[in-house]
Structure 1
Amino acid sequence: MKTHVKALVVGGGAVGCGIALHLARAGWDTMLVERDELTAGSTWHAAGLLPLFNMGYATSHIHDYSVKLYAGLEAETGLNAGFTRCGNLRMAQTDARMDEYMLYSATAETVGIEHEFLTPRQIKDRWPLVRTEDLKGALFHPTDGYINPADVTQAMARAARMAGATIERKIQVNGYEWTGEEWIVTCEKMVEKGGNLVSSGEQFEIRAEHVVTATGNHAQRTARLLGIKIPAIPVEHQYIVTEPDPALVKWRAEGNPEHPVLRDADAKWYVREERGGWILGPYERNAPARFLYDVPESFRADLFPLDLERIEEEYMSMIHRLPTSETVGLKDDFNGPICYTPDGNPLVGPAPGLRNMWLAEGFSFGITAAGGVGHYLAQMMTEGEAEIDMASLDPRRFGGWMTTEYAARKNEEAYEHVFVLHHPDEEREACRPLRTAPAYDRQKEAGAQFGQVNGWERPNYYAPAGFDDHAARSFRRGGWWQYAKAEAEAIRGTAGLIDASAFAKHRVHGKGATAFLDWFTTNKLPKVGRINLTYALTEAGTTRTEYTIVRLAEDDYYLISAGAWADYDGDHLRKMAEEMEGEFGQVIVQDITTQWGVFAIAGPNSRAILKELVRDADPATALGNKRFPWLSMRNIELGMCPVRAIRVAYTGELGWELHHPIEFGRYLWDQLVAAGEKHGLKLVGARAQNWLRQEKSYRAFGTELGRDATPLEAGLDRFVDLDKAFNGKQAMLDKGIRSKCVTLLIDGPGDADPWGREALYAADGTKVGRLTSAGWSAAFGKSIGMGYVRPDLAEPGTRLKVRMQRELWDAVVTEDSPYDPENKVIRVDG
């Protein structure tokens, strides 16, 4: 057996085999080890469904790739993976569900996933066994279907061997040690004894430059061995198999086609044919998390007892939808562990704090994802980045503050929400509130409706007492829309106060800090007391992170980035600083997010409000352009609160970010609210801020800015200094300009705005790009959006179309920063 490889994959389920296949195809010397038999984990009891439906852009690409890969495996390997392409019929009982499908359709169009909409009559004509009188319609994927999980895993394993990979079974990993150049992986040979898997006593080491863990239900053991947190914990998933249904048997005997996989999303289940009967898989309430700390040694290809009472409601709804199933008995049942994460998406990418260690954990739809994850993770490992932005799946999107209890409860919630309406303005309630800034209670009393960002509670908007945020959600303009509109108008007209404490904040200092940051980022570094917007790139030259850099002293910097990405950014900063220490000298990176609160005050009256509070020898000039110019930082005092004030506003109005020691948060909030009363100050949430930043064409990380586009493609040339050397520069230049980021004004329907997922079309009907952000413009009185189009269509005045609610609506490309393009408002003196 090999003892040294380029890449070692730990875990022999579908996901592990998919990764081994693609690493081997990329030319890497790859070995996979499995503690038991291939497919012995959740793979063996998976239902094998291949749902293309997913509201996420990256995950949609992953699922689409998998389905296409599986269709060709038999021709490649000679093994029949049991792929049945019967289609997938996702039914809707409500208009809101049909709205969800129309929003999904926009994402599917951008990815290129084939789908169509059906009426209840069309459903009944094709599949008369399905009751349709209470349906509004359905979404149909003709290329969807199901596959045999064990067979597709074995087929990928054979394809991996054919590409040069080695696969070894009955090998358990017991330890990982990083030498600075490679991983030493301690293993032991396992044997069968009395139906259990036990150690043979034979121990050995495998050395690998890279390791990928795809350990499924054993993720908590993996986390312990690596000394990190992996919030992947299994939840019980049940499905039952019925005896043959005589009506179904007769239908098929008459030469009719197999039913598609049926999904009654409002009833929370899927159903497919199985040897003349039906398989019912519900996603019920109160399914418990299991194996919070470890999987028992005796648990192999085992199951839990079935809890029929828990799924009674779903079972009865299946009988309603398929009336002929009422008299059919149960033949078999399964209740096994399926891994989840707090947001339902898998963990794919670099492990936090570790070099050349990659995670592929937390797959609730592992069969559907296995092939695509293997493809895109292999690209990340071998080419420096995937062709699509994988940040939404990055393991570091969950911070180190996360506990086992939090992960377990949120994973249960994610399971329960598989078929819950996925509103774009959805905010899930489990484990909240948890992380709160000092002014949280004040904001709640004022009517704040909170969202959650990296565990932090952050106001989305403010509403009157008794307002129900959950009832206000919609795929169109929800009940909250009017309040966000009023907040946006207040910032443009008077002033608004925003709690931005969730911003990620890092201090970077030390003798090597200046040289390191100059190499690490694309823009010139600011002078002491000034700020710059800049970007860190991936090895592939695409945008890794956006930073606002404040220079506190010669070798002391304060870096601000997106709140959702604190650990993602911090881990990358630390790794890069350590890697380059020999060249630049010592660089100290400190995550100080929880030490500093941030309030943003913006609007024409913001300076007047701050003048009420500033303590200065000459308050009249303390905030004027001469002493406090745009894009500068000053330490000031507001009442009794010391403030690191930055003259910048994400809304594009005159304004300041007020960074303060977080323990002063309640005091400062009260002072600002009181001082602002006579100046028309309004409390403002994140949704209005998001609309306003689009009027200024301010790109946001996670939407316009990502690992699939360069800063030059994003139209950020002014923040890229091509006269200096910086990490990823040549790769960025080599990419060229494949597409361009633009801002569009949109004449959409009267009751809805785009959400930033919609496909863009040229006048001739050709698909030419997609939106990445969207909403309502208070300044222009119409919908607004940002997105990427072909470079030849990026000129202001170009007329395009946006797909919304299955119709095309007029849009026009505007100049960058359509509101106040010369920045006169933001620089106004006083």
Structure 2
Amino acid sequence: MKTHVKALVVGGGAVGTSIAYHLAKRGWDTMLLERDELTSGSTWHAAGLLPYFNMSYATTHIHDYSIRFYKGLEAETGLNPGFFVVGNLRMAQTDARMDEYRLYATTAETCGVPYEWLTPDEIKARWPLVRTDDLKGALFHPTDGYINPADVTQAMAKGARQFGATIERKWQVDGYEWTGSEWRVTVTKMAEKGGNLVATDEQAVITAEHVVTATGNHAQRTARLLGIKIPAIPVEHQFIVTEPDPALVAWRDAGNPQHPVLRDADAKWYVREERGGWILGPYERGAPARFEYGCPDSFRADLFPLDLERIEEEYMSMIHRIPSSEQVGLKDDFNGPICYTPDGNPLLGPAPGLRNMWLAEGFSFGITAAGGTGHYLAQLMVDGEAEIDMGSLDPRRYGDWMTTEYAARKNEEAYEHVYILHHPDEERPACRPLRTSPAYDRQRRLGAQFGQVNGWERPNYYGPEDAPDSFDHDARSFRRGGWWPHAEYEARAIRERAGLIDATAFTKHLVRGPGATAFLDWFTCNALPKVGRVNLTYALSSAGTVRTEYTIVRLAEHEYYLVSAGAWAAYDHDFLVKAAEDKREEFGWIDIHDVSTQWGVFALAGPNARAILNDVVKDADPATVLSNKRFPWLSARDIELGMCPVRALRVAYTGELGWELHHPIEMQTYLWDLLMGAGERHGMALVGARAQNWLRQEKSYRAFGTELGRDATPLEAGLDRFVDLSKDFHGKAAMEQTGIRSKCVTLLIDGPEDADPWGREALYDGETRVGRLTSGGYSVVFGRSIGMGYVRPELAVPGTKLQVKMLDRRWPAEIVEESPHDPTNARIRADG
């Protein structure tokens, strides 16, 4: 066995073998270790389905790559991966489900994924065994189907060997040690004994520059060995195999093709053919998480007892949908562990706090994702970035606040929600509320309907004060939900009077020390602000794309307060700390603290914002303390509001006169009551995140995670004014070399009367797809739908007429000038 490699992959399921294949193909000396046999984890009992359907842009690309990749494996390796391209029929019983498919379909178009629409009559004509009288229609993917998990894994393993990778079985990792330049991995030889897998006395140490963990059900053991948290915990998944169905056998004997994979999402199951019978896989309520604290060493290719009572409803609905299956007996059953994460997306990318350690864990659709995972992770590792933005899958999207209990309960919820309607505005209720700001109870009593960001409860909008609970599911829709009129009122209030927004979830870092100035000047692309001033800036990836967005406040010569997106706290912290460590020898000592939980934030904005603060500010000359002369736009000052000390920043994400009021978290309820009293006299409304999202689009303000990400440079994002090309900064050369592949624009849209874009829609110029939306909503200023997105550079000109694909129709859209509302920023700079 080799004792030194460039990359060590731990885990021999479909995901691990794909990663080994793609790293070896890129020329890296790669070894894969498996503690048992290849496919002996969840891979062996997977149903092998390859569903395209996913609302995530990144995951759709991953699935698309997998499906195309698998089709070429036999020609490359000589091994048939057992790919049956029968298509995938996703049926809908309700109009809401059809709306979900229409939203997904336009996302699929942005990735080039083919699909077809079928009516109930067309379904019946093609597959007469399927009952269709209660269906609204279906979405059909003709190019996917199902695959044999063991066969495709062995084909990828052979391909990996052909590219020079080594695969070693019956070796278990028992320890990881980072030496400062490489990993020392202690491994133990495993052996069969009485049907069990047991450790022997034989050990070895492998050194590797990079390690990838793809340990599946054993992720909690991996987490303990690495000293980190990995919220990948298995959930039971059952599927049953029936005896041959005479009607199906007769159908096939007559020369008819296989049925596509059938998915009745409203009934929460999939069905496919299996040797003349059917495989039923339900996603029922009540499926429990397993192995919360680690998979037993004795658990190999094992299963749990079947719980038929738990899936009785789904089983009966299969009989309803395929009536001929009623007389068919059960031949086999499976109830095995499938890993999940709290949001259902895998953990793919750098491990938090560790160097050259990569996670590929939590794959609930591992066979579908395996091929694309290997491809894009290899890009990330070899090239520094993938061609698509992998941020939504990054393991650092979860912070250390997460516990095992939280992960287990949220993973159960993610399993249950596989077929529950995925509204773009969905807010899942499990484990909530957990992280709350002090003003939470006051906000809830006033009708706040909360969303969750990084575990924090944040008002999405304010409904009626007698709202029954904080998770108003009935307000959701693929069109304008019940929340829409409340958000419209709140947006108008900020434009016309004033609004108060709770932004406590912001990520906040204190960066100081002798090396802080030189480091931040290199780390970010804009000029650093002067003491007492504020700048918007960006940290870039090694590929020159946007890695994160910061509002930087310069508190002193070498002391800075950095504010970034609340959803990306651990992600930002890990990147910031690692970058500072890399540059400490060059720039000097740098002290970095995450102070997010020490500071609450209220954003006060609108034409009456200054009048409200004037009523409560304490100063020797309160009439002038908030004037442009003493407190200009893009500056920061320490002020006193009543008895509360406040670090006030004159910025406003809504594009109106306003301030961010950063305050000691323990004084939040006092400050809330103070501002509520003053605001009442000036028509202030309480405003949630949804109205704020609309308002920032009227100002063409980009948002990290939508317009800004690791697949676009700041110049492509149209942020030239925030890039100081006179200085050197991280990613500059790569940014300039990339050029302009596409350009970010703002569009006003004449869409349907009852719907607005969500930011997932394809953009067309005639019959040609030319871009995609990244954000969407409604403009109270223009009385039309609004969106932001990326188009071909030659089209990024105000006045260009395009179309947006919404609800399976193309609607007129026009590219408008930057900041269509108040383009000169006169309202933001208003004096008083």
> Do they superpose with TM above 0.5?
yes
Shift of residue 70 of structure 1?
0.3
Structure 2 CA distance for aligned equivalents of residues 143 and 588 of structure 1? 53
1:524 matched residue in structure 2 = 527
2:747 matched residue in structure 1 = 744
Structure 2 CA distance for aligned equivalents of residues 507 and 23 of structure 1? 38
1:791 matched residue in structure 2 = 793
Shift of residue 16 of structure 1?
0.2
1:370 aligns with 2:370: yes
Name the aligned partner's letter for residue 611 of structure 1: N
1:358 matched residue in structure 2 = 358
2:636 matched residue in structure 1 = 633
Residue by residue over 1:307-344, the C-alpha shift from the partner in whole angstroms, topping out at 9 and shown as x without a partner, is 00000000000000000000100000000000000000
DSSP-derived class of the 2:593 partner: strand
Which of 791, 806, 809 is the aligned partner of 2:808?
806
DSSP-derived class of the 2:84 partner: coil
Structure 2 CA distance for aligned equivalents of residues 315 and 71 of structure 1? 32
Gaps of 5+ in 2: none
Structure 2 CA distance for aligned equivalents of residues 190 and 329 of structure 1? 40
Structure 2 CA distance for aligned equivalents of residues 590 and 107 of structure 1? 39
1:659 matched residue in structure 2 = 662
Structure 2 CA distance for aligned equivalents of residues 150 and 511 of structure 1? 57
Structure 2 CA distance for aligned equivalents of residues 128 and 694 of structure 1? 49
DSSP-derived class of the 1:412 partner: helix
Structure 2 CA distance for aligned equivalents of residues 181 and 572 of structure 1? 18
Structure 1 CA distance for aligned equivalents of residues 269 and 677 of structure 2? 52
Structure 2 CA distance for aligned equivalents of residues 304 and 125 of structure 1? 40
Structure 1 CA distance for aligned equivalents of residues 180 and 579 of structure 2? 14
1:284 matched residue in structure 2 = 284
2:693 matched residue in structure 1 = 690
Structure 1 CA distance for aligned equivalents of residues 183 and 664 of structure 2? 41
2:589 matched residue in structure 1 = 586
1:126 aligns with 2:126: yes
Shift of residue 588 of structure 1?
1.1
1:603 matched residue in structure 2 = 606
Structure 1 CA distance for aligned equivalents of residues 672 and 391 of structure 2? 34
Shift of residue 466 of structure 1?
4.3
2:552 matched residue in structure 1 = 549
Shift of residue 144 of structure 1?
1.1
1:729 matched residue in structure 2 = 732
Name the aligned partner's letter for residue 786 of structure 2: I
Structure 1 CA distance for aligned equivalents of residues 109 and 379 of structure 2? 24
DSSP-derived class of the 2:615 partner: helix
1:679 matched residue in structure 2 = 682
1:322 aligns with 2:360: no
Structure 1 CA distance for aligned equivalents of residues 801 and 135 of structure 2? 37
DSSP-derived class of the 1:825 partner: coil
1:236 matched residue in structure 2 = 236
Shift of residue 467 of structure 1?
4.1
1:95 matched residue in structure 2 = 95
Residue by residue over 1:145-178, the C-alpha shift from the partner in whole angstroms, topping out at 9 and shown as x without a partner, is 0000000000000000001111100000000000
Residue by residue over 1:493-539, the C-alpha shift from the partner in whole angstroms, topping out at 9 and shown as x without a partner, is 00000000000001111110000000000000000000100000011
Structure 2 CA distance for aligned equivalents of residues 466 and 261 of structure 1? 45
Residue by residue over 1:176-218, the C-alpha shift from the partner in whole angstroms, topping out at 9 and shown as x without a partner, is 0001100000001111111111112111100000000000000
1:471 aligns with 2:474: yes
Residue by residue over 1:639-678, the C-alpha shift from the partner in whole angstroms, topping out at 9 and shown as x without a partner, is 0000000000000000000000001111101110110101
Structure 2 CA distance for aligned equivalents of residues 349 and 32 of structure 1? 18
1:167 matched residue in structure 2 = 167
Structure 1 CA distance for aligned equivalents of residues 672 and 129 of structure 2? 61
Name the aligned partner's letter for residue 831 of structure 2: D
1:176 matched residue in structure 2 = 176
Name the aligned partner's letter for residue 292 of structure 1: E
Structure 1 CA distance for aligned equivalents of residues 520 and 296 of structure 2? 47
DSSP-derived class of the 2:147 partner: coil
Go from structure 1 to structure 2 and tell me whether the alpha carbon gap of 1:466 and 1:328 turns closer, same or farther (over 3 Å shift).
farther
DSSP-derived class of the 1:336 partner: strand
Structure 1 CA distance for aligned equivalents of residues 207 and 735 of structure 2? 33
Identity fraction in percent? 79
Shift of residue 465 of structure 1?
3.5
Structure 2 CA distance for aligned equivalents of residues 589 and 26 of structure 1? 36
Which of 719, 723, 731 is the aligned partner of 1:716?
719
Residue by residue over 1:92-137, the C-alpha shift from the partner in whole angstroms, topping out at 9 and shown as x without a partner, is 0000000000000010000000101110000000000000000000
Residue by residue over 1:428-481, the C-alpha shift from the partner in whole angstroms, topping out at 9 and shown as x without a partner, is 000000000000000000000000000000000001144462111000000110
2:80 matched residue in structure 1 = 80
Structure 1 CA distance for aligned equivalents of residues 583 and 3 of structure 2? 30
Q: Equivalences for 1:156-305 in 2 at 5 Å?
A: 156-305=156-305
DSSP-derived class of the 2:230 partner: coil
Name the aligned partner's letter for residue 671 of structure 1: L
DSSP-derived class of the 2:543 partner: coil
Gaps of 5+ in 1: none
Shift of residue 589 of structure 1?
1.1
The size of the alignment, in residue pairs, is 829
2:777 matched residue in structure 1 = 775
Q: Equivalences for 1:422-437 in 2 at 5 Å?
A: 422-437=422-437
Structure 2 CA distance for aligned equivalents of residues 580 and 623 of structure 1? 39
Name the aligned partner's letter for residue 592 of structure 2: V
DSSP-derived class of the 1:679 partner: coil
Structure 2 CA distance for aligned equivalents of residues 410 and 440 of structure 1? 22
DSSP-derived class of the 2:653 partner: coil
2:40 matched residue in structure 1 = 40
DSSP-derived class of the 2:831 partner: coil
Name the aligned partner's letter for residue 350 of structure 1: P
Name the aligned partner's letter for residue 257 of structure 1: P
Residue by residue over 1:515-570, the C-alpha shift from the partner in whole angstroms, topping out at 9 and shown as x without a partner, is 00000000000000001000000111100000000001111100000000000000
Name the aligned partner's letter for residue 636 of structure 2: M
DSSP-derived class of the 2:625 partner: coil
2:828 matched residue in structure 1 = 826
Name the aligned partner's letter for residue 133 of structure 2: E
DSSP-derived class of the 2:500 partner: strand
2:146 matched residue in structure 1 = 146
Structure 1 CA distance for aligned equivalents of residues 565 and 166 of structure 2? 41
Of the structure 1 ranges 467-476 and 54-63, higher mean CA displacement relative to structure 2 is found in 467-476
DSSP-derived class of the 1:209 partner: strand
